[in-house]
């Protein structure tokens, strides 16, 4: 016969098990019912602000405005009516997160010299960072994207990034970076890499005008997969912090002087080319390839990044529309607008 004390012990044990089971079941249920989300990050160059009204900002979670650079005194120089852009984009999508993108893949020798002077000397960083913060606050922006590349990633890069992150965090602002597909610059420390909220991986330009004797696809699906593997498996960046970059342009290797062609120009040559990745010696990403990349990104990254929004075809052949609809078909929430 079981005494009362033993019986109470058994009942308590059973109740505890039921409680644990109930909590676990509820957590699993919450995880299942919580919609999966992804970001869609689009860059827009100041050269293309005249096309802002053609862009469907309701299909973007993030907008990176390109590019701003400092003068030698650390004053932030930007050409273009950024206030008009912010006003228009926010009217179309009140939740869109807008950042100023610094530097860029192609900067002048003077701009590169300015960056080196300002970030390699620790005593010059505070004034530069304060000017960046002032620019963000003045134009009602949500963050900063750091796009220093190659030789411009000098010895002061990591110190600058870590100090910039501290100031941005104090103002509750975002900090991201654009980085090459399979290259980690030696001046990027682990602390600096970890400071970014997420990374935009430039999974394109495997060939181009700098390699005229190497015609072919510059942004294949395999190239994209290699880049995500590099950053996740070799550099230990969590999958959700990676954003897979896709191109809205291609390269034309017809002549010795290789030129770029926008996706819009390619589709204008024939609507059938929207379904292909190659037109003669022009290599680009058509709709099926972009769709495959979205599917891969949905499983292996935190989302998709676009260079550059104004190069899209603003009609039924739009690549941004492919991205938006594919995420929707995969039951993944991006903006929650425009049918997503």
Residue found under tokens 């299942």? 32
Give residue 189's Cα distance to chain centre.
20
**With b meaning 16 or more CB within 10 Å and e meaning fewer, what string describes 242-251?**
bbbbbbbbbb
- Radius of gyration over every alpha carbon of the chain, rounded to an integer in angstroms: 24
- 191-197 long-range Cβ contacts below 8 angstroms, 24+ apart: 191/158, 191/162, 192/157, 192/158, 192/161, 192/162, 193/235, 193/237, 195/161, 195/162, 195/165, 196/146, 196/161, 196/165, 196/241, 197/143, 197/241
User: Rounded distance, CA 290 to CA 282, Å?
Assistant: 17
Interval 178-223: pLDDT, tens: 999 999 999 999 999 999 999 999 999 999 999 999 999 999 999 9
Phi, psi of 116 (to 5 degrees): -60, -45
Mean pLDDT over all residues of the chain? Answer: 93
Torsion sign, CA atoms 316, 318, 324, 330: positive
User: Rounded distance, CA 293 to CA 316, Å?
Assistant: 19
User: Rounded distance, CA 251 to CA 25, Å?
Assistant: 53
Among 165, 162, 155, CA closest to 186: 155
Token pair belonging to 171: 């103002």
pLDDT higher than threshold 50 for residue 339: yes
pLDDT higher than threshold 50 for residue 307: yes
pLDDT higher than threshold 80 for residue 27: no
Q: CB under 8 Å to 242, separation ≥6 — which residues? A: 198, 199, 201, 228, 231, 232, 300, 301, 302
pLDDT > 90: what percent of the chain? 90
pLDDT higher than threshold 60 for residue 120: yes
Confidence of residue 25 (pLDDT cuts 50, 70, 90): very low
Q: Give the E-state strand segments of the chain in sequence order.
A: 36-37, 39-45, 62-70, 76-77, 97-103, 143-147, 174-180, 198-202, 242-247, 249-252, 259-262, 278-279, 282-283, 303-307, 332-333
Dihedral, CA of residue 288, residue 289, residue 292 and residue 297, to nearest 10: -140
Contact between 121 and 155 under an 8 Å Cβ cutoff? The reply is no
pTM (two decimals): 0.90
Residue 21: its pLDDT value, please?
43
pLDDT higher than threshold 70 for residue 157: yes
Residue 161: its pLDDT value, please?
98
């Amino acid at each position: 016969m079981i005494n009362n004390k033993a019986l109470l012990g058994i009942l308590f044990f059973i109740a505890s098990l039921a409680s644990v089971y109930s909590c676990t079941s509820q957590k699993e249920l919450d995880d299942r019912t919580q919609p999966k989300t992804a970001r869609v990050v689009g860059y827009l160059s100041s050269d293309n602000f005249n096309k802002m009204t053609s862009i469907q900002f309701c299909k973007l979670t993030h907008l990176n405005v390109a590019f701003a650079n400092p003068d030698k005194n650390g004053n932030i120089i930007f050409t273009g009516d950024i206030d008009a852009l912010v006003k228009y984009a926010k009217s179309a999508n009140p939740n869109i997160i807008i950042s100023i993108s610094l530097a860029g893949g192609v900067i002048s020798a003077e701009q590169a010299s300015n960056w080196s002077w300002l970030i390699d000397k620790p005593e010059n960083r505070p004034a530069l960072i304060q000017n960046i913060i002032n620019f963000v606050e003045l134009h009602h922006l949500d963050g900063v994207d750091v796009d220093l590349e190659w030789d411009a990633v000098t010895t002061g890069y990591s110190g600058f990034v870590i100090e910039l992150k501290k100031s941005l965090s104090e103002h509750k602002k975002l900090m991201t970076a654009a980085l090459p597909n399979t290259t980690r610059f030696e001046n990027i420390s682990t602390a600096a890499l970890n400071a970014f909220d997420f990374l935009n991986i430039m999974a394109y330009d495997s060939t181009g005008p700098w390699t005229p004797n190497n015609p072919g696809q510059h942004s294949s699906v395999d190239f994209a997969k290699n880049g995500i593997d590099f950053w996740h498996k070799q550099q230990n960046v969590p999958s959700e912090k990676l954003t897979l970059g896709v191109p809205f342009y291609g390269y034309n290797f017809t002549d010795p002087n290789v030129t770029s062609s926008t996706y819009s120009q390619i589709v204008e040559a024939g609507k059938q080319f929207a379904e292909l990745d190659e037109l003669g010696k022009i290599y680009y990403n058509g709709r099926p390839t972009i769709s495959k990349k979205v599917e891969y990104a949905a499983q292996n990254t935190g989302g998709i990044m676009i260079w550059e929004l104004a190069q899209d075809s603003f009609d039924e052949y739009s690549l941004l529309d492919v991205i938006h609809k594919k995420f929707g078909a995969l039951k993944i929430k991006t903006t929650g607008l425009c049918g997503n």
